[in-house]
Amino acid sequence: MINSKLPNIETSIFAKMSKMAADHNALNLSQGFPNFPSDPALNALVDQAMSDGYNQYAPMPGDFGLRMEISKKIETLHDRFYNPETEITITAGATQAIFTIIAATISKGDEVIIFTPAYDCYAPTVELFGGKIVPIQLKPPFYSVDWQQVADMISSKTKMIIINSPHNPSGMLFSKEDMLELQDLAEKNDLLVLSDEVYEHIIFDGNVHQSASKFEALAERSFVTASFGKTFHNTGWKMGYCAAPENLMKEFQKVHQFVVFCVNHPIQKALATYLKDENHYLKLSNFYQQKRDFFLHLMEGSNFKIVPSKGTYFQMLDFSEISTENDIAFAERLTKKHKIATIPTSVFNEGRKDFKQIRVCFAKTDETLAEAAKILREL
Ligand code: PMP
Ligand code: GLN
């Protein structure tokens, strides 16, 4: 018989809530994905790449044209050069990049610091490779990091810190000062950093994305991951990438070649062309800020307590003035009775601590957001 390697892991909350939404015919603002289409011009480029015959394996690290465009983009935005030959790999979404980074670097007994609420794939992947998670719980409403606390949690076994800014689910951002504190700790303690930057292009109110690649000493020890699905409205394509200095990327690729070898070739060809126009990603913050503001405007006068999200396409809603239920029961009731699905955020917290916050995804048409706000305002 099989001994479970992950005895305490349940089906992901995203699978659960999307299924519950479908089963109960509820509006689905739970799992993070847009309900509007991927750009027809990008879809046409994929069709074209298929017609042009790019239907066999891509090069193991990815299409070179796409790696060049990614390299240019990072250099323009963050002033850091990643060699497209040796320092960038195209992955099946950020999830595969994160899995591969952890598989390539974490061994039995290594400690990995994560900030909770944390995206759900980090901890199980670390555990799968024998690592130990050291969680640092961030607190609402601002979910900011106390770097002295982080320093206190570092031990001789600490191997890696995983960060995620803009942060899912809270919408918090790391400032330049946060990144400098992180850089200092990582250097002093010889740590690796996994910087999950899937929401890099969704940042509001004039804030600037503080990529790990912007900071020289940090970039030297960081794996940076990104997701095209988030940026180009096609999460189902599962395309992303990892950028890291050559010595780290070499280890990454040793694992990558045996996890997938390479990823979807025609989509890589299409993305290589599409990325040439920077408007395709530089306009995204504005697009989503309008969605956030539209939704928050509609929610004025509701009984939820709301701190506006600073980035990502998620908004936290505090329901403590509406119900004393735990967030899982509350989210279930909302789905089944009120026909709106959201994410209970305790599942991302240390010890499933319940701060009475649900997460909604506002990557939705204005019509869906209006319908959602109408239901939520009546609670
Ligand atoms: N990290 C975070 C913080 C996410 O929200 C997501 C969800 N998309 C991922 C990683 C995974 O991205 P992908 O869908 O590209 O695998
Ligand atoms: N990143 C998406 C979210 O946070 C979900 C991705 C997934 O379903 N695994 O909702």
For the segment 55-65, the average pLDDT, to the nearest whole number, is: 98
Q: Are strands 88-91 and 240-243 parallel, antiparallel or unpaired?
A: antiparallel
**Strand, coil or helix: what is 223?**
strand
Q: Is the CB of 94 under 6 A from ligand 1?
A: yes
| pLDDT average, residue stretch 366-378 | 98
pLDDT computed for residue 235 by the predictor: 98
What confidence score (pLDDT) does residue 1 get?
Answer: 86
Q: Are 332 and 20 in contact (CB under 8 A)?
A: yes
Residue with CA at minimum distance from ligand 1 atom 7: 32
243: helix, strand or coil: strand
Ligand 2 pocket: which of 31, 168, 225, 228 to mutate (most atoms <8 Å of CB)? 31
- Between CA 314 and CA 296 the distance in angstroms is 12
Residue pLDDT, tens place only, 245-262: 999 999 999 999 999 999
| Mean pLDDT score, 63-91 | 98
In the numeric block, the tokens 């996890």 are attached to: 259
Pick the residue whose CA is nearest to atom 7 on ligand 2.
Answer: 14
Q: What value does the mean pLDDT take over residues 264-274?
A: 98
Asked whether 31 lines ligand 2 (CB < 6 A), one says: yes
Nearest CA to ligand 2 atom 8: 14
Top mutation candidate among 11, 227, 235, 342 for ligand 2, by most atoms within 8 Å of CB: 235
User: Which ligand gives the minimal distance to the CA of 97?
Assistant: 1
Q: CB under 8 Å to 148, separation ≥6 — which residues?
A: none
Q: How sure is the predictor about 219, in pLDDT bands with cuts at 50, 70 and 90?
A: very high
Q: How far apart are CA 369 and CA 296, in angstroms?
A: 10
CA of 52 to the centre of ligand 1 (A): 30
The dihedrals phi and psi of 310, each to the nearest 5 degrees, come to -95, -10
**Ligand 1 and 196: CB distance under 6 A:** yes
Percent residues over pLDDT 90 in the chain = 99
pTM, two decimals, is 0.98
Residue 146 CA, distance from chain mean position: 22
The H-assigned helical ranges of the chain are 13-23, 40-51, 64-78, 93-105, 122-128, 147-153, 176-188, 216-219, 228-231, 246-259, 265-274, 279-282, 284-298, 327-336, 366-377
pLDDT digits (tens, 9 = 90+) for 220-231: 999 999 999 999
Local structure of residue 311 (DSSP, 8 states): B
pLDDT band for 179, please (50, 70, 90 cuts): very high
Average pLDDT, the chain: 98
Ligand 1 lined by 349 (C-beta under 6 Å): no
Q: What is the mean pLDDT of residues 191-208?
A: 98
CA-based nearest residue to 139, from 359, 306, 357: 357
Give residue-wise pLDDT tens across range 324-356: 999 999 999 999 999 999 999 999 999 999 999
